[in-house]
Structure 1
Amino acid sequence: MPTSPPTDSRPVGTGASGATEPDGATPSNRTVLKKLAVVIVGLTAVLTVMFLAFGLPAINSGPHHVPIGVTGPKAATDALRSSIGEHGDGAWDVTAYPDAKTLTRAVEEREISGGFALGQGSVTVYSASAAGAQTAAAINSMGSVLATGQHARVTVHDVVPFPEDDSRGAGLTAAALPMIIGGSMPAIALLKLFPGHSGLRTRVTGALLFALAAGFAMTAVLQFGFGTVDGSYWLTALGMSLSMAALAIPLLGLESLFGFAGLGAGMALVMIVGNPLSGMATGAHWLPDGWSTVGQLLPPGASGSLLRANAYFDGTGAAGPIAVLACWVLAGLVLVLAADRRARKSATTPESTTAPALGTA
Structure 2
Amino acid sequence: MNMKPLFGQHHVSAITADAEKNYQFYTEIMGMRLVKKTVNQDSTSMYHLFYADERGNPGTDLTFFEIQNAGRTYPGTNSITGTSLRVADDAALDYWLRRFEDFKVDHDGIERVGGRAQISFRDFENQRLLLVSDETNKGVPGGTPWEGSPVPGEFGILGLGPVQLTVSRPERTAKVLTEILGFRETGSISAEGAEEKNIRVFHTGEGGTGAEVQLIEEADKPRERPGRGSVHHVAFRVESEAELRKWTEFITEAGFSNSGFVERYYFKSLYFREPNGILIELATDGPGFESDESFEELGENLALPPFLESRREEIEKSLKPLNTKQ
Q: What's the TM-score once normalised by structure 2's chain length?
A: 0.27
Higher helix proportion (structure 1 or 2): 1
Higher gyration radius (CA):
1
Higher RCO structure (Cα 8 Å, ≥6 apart): 2
Higher strand proportion (structure 1 or 2): 2
Q: What's the TM-score once normalised by structure 1's chain length?
A: 0.25
